[in-house]
Amino acid sequence: MNKYQLPSDSKLLQSDFVFGVATSSYQIEGGVAEGGRTPSIWDTFCKTPNKVDNGDNGDVACDHYHLWQQDIEMIQGLGVDAYRLSIAWPRIMPQDGVVNPEGLAFYEEIIDECHARGMKVYVTLYHWDLPQYLEDKGGWLNRETSYKFAEYARAVSAHFGNKIDVYTTLNEPFVSAFLGYRWGNHAPGIKGEREGFLASHHLMLAHGLAMPILRSNAPHSKHGVVFNASPAYPATSKDQGAADYSEAENYHWFMDPVLKGEYPQLVVERQLVNMPMILEGDLDIISAPVDYVGINYYSRDVMRYNENGDIEKVIQEGAEHTFIGWEVYPQGLTDLLVRLNERYDNIPPIYITENGAACDDHSVVNGQLNDEQRVRYFQSHLNAVDQAIKAGVRVDGYFAWSLMDNFEWAFGYCQRFGMVHVDYQTQQRTLKQSAITYRNTLLARAEENK
């Protein structure tokens, strides 16, 4: 496949639809002790035995800290409209209340280079790398961290202002709160039901506190927040309640406070004993208007009640799965977008801020890597977005995850999501077939829109 086959009437071919690629700071940068950066919770977590596959860490990762210029050139070569990156909080504020000029300068060079090459910049302020000094004071279990995030947002937006085209407060608060503080799979590795819900409220409060600051400092930029979402389907006709609850806990819990000013009753009732302390006015803060919502989609969930009445996920035997074990289900992306459009009367424009697949594509042969499954994955999911738009959902852009292979959190380096292969020994980058196909699609679109 030379390029993705989109129908001639595809909304994705219009010139104002944004195509991009995405990365995050801890996953690609390395340079963890350079430029004034201090440790994050992921630096600490990676040093804890048996937490990350193979004992991997992000100390070097893709060495983007030193190779960013060639990486930005590579991104431009893909023909994208925008680059979505995240800023490392401990690079900007290495100590409580201290702003690091060297950290700001590092990102400023990247942003300026993107603009010089005609690409817009979408910046995420928090992609899970909380400064360790804040975790030492309780992290997201401490309400004060929400206010520290607002200070950090002020430092970044006061410096960059409108130079950052699109600001994102949080990436996937579900993962930060539940994998980090409820189930312990991610940094900081805390396990507790009450802790998970408390962290989730403080994350959403942080988002709300930052919004007016960002708007004040960057009035011409767009501001919003990114959620991961997996639509849920019942395993049998008797399991609709299990599917409904799965959606309520996994993403309505995070989206409803922003778009409806309340937490979903399904979760409140089931988790009453675990509910966080919500102070008067918190939900007014969290529900500050947003210019867009980002959606990260990878797969669906099929849910059922087990013999004990507990809700559990059902693995779809016989279905296609990626190397990481996630079912390939593009229809889920269409369904998700339509459901969100129906649930929220006031939903702003949506960006698909992450979508991609981890495939078993570790070896470059003769300078080439044919990641056939990923090519098919992108093809089917781009069509799924197009179908949602034709069904009446406003989707303004699509960002492939990820630009290149990187540190995949608790999976270390064994899972590869990249459109570009990275040899971690030599830091050699090689475009996979999926990147070439993506590039050819965007070049053809640009030609048609001349």
- Which tokens in the block code for residue 164? 């950052």
Name the strand (E) or helix (H) holding 224. strand 222-228
Return d(Cα 57, Cα 424) in angstroms, integer. 12
- Is 298 annotated as a binding-site member? yes
Question: What one-character-per-residue DSSP string does 271-325 give?
Answer: TGGGPPP--TTHHHHHT---SEEEEE----EEEEE-TTS-EEE---TTS-B-TTS
Based on the residue annotation, tell me whether 151 is a catalytic residue of this protein: no
From CA 342, how far away is CA 338, in angstroms rounded? 6
The response to whether 171 counts as a known ligand-binding position is yes
The CA–CA distances, whole Å, from 355 to 42, 163, 394 equal 23, 26, 17
Q: Name the residue among 291, 274, 228 with its Cα closest to residue 254.
A: 228
> How are beta strands 311-313 and 301-305 bridged, if at all?
antiparallel
DSSP 450: -
The verdict on whether residue 449 carries a ligand-binding annotation is no
Tokens 């090459």 belong to 117
C-alpha separations of 296 from 13, 293, 366, 440 in Å: 21, 10, 34, 24
401 is in an annotated binding site: yes
Which residues neighbour 330 within 8 Å (Cβ) at sequence distance 6 or greater? 377, 380, 381, 383, 384
Please state, as a whole number, how many other Cβ atoms lie within 10 Å of the Cβ of residue 72.
22
Is 307 annotated to bind ligand?
Answer: no
Is 354 catalytic? The answer is: yes
User: Hey, what are 120's tokens?
Assistant: 């817009």
Task: Give 3-state DSSP helix, strand, coil % of the chain, rounded to 5.
Answer: 45, 15, 40
What is the Cα–Cα distance from 201 to 222, expressed in whole angstroms?
A: 23
**408: annotated binding-site residue?**
yes
The CA distance from 264 to 251, in Å, is: 10
Q: Would you say 183 is a known binding-site residue?
A: no
**Of residues 29, 113, 172, 195, which has the active-site annotation?**
172
Give the residue among 425, 416, 429 at the shortest CA–CA distance from 322. 416
In 161-238, where does DSSP find H-type helix? 173-174, 180-181, 193-217
Q: Which residues are catalytic?
A: 172, 354
Which residues belong to the annotated binding site for substrate?
Answer: 27, 127, 171, 298, 401, 408-409
Which residues belong to the annotated binding site?
Answer: 27, 127, 171, 298, 401, 408-409
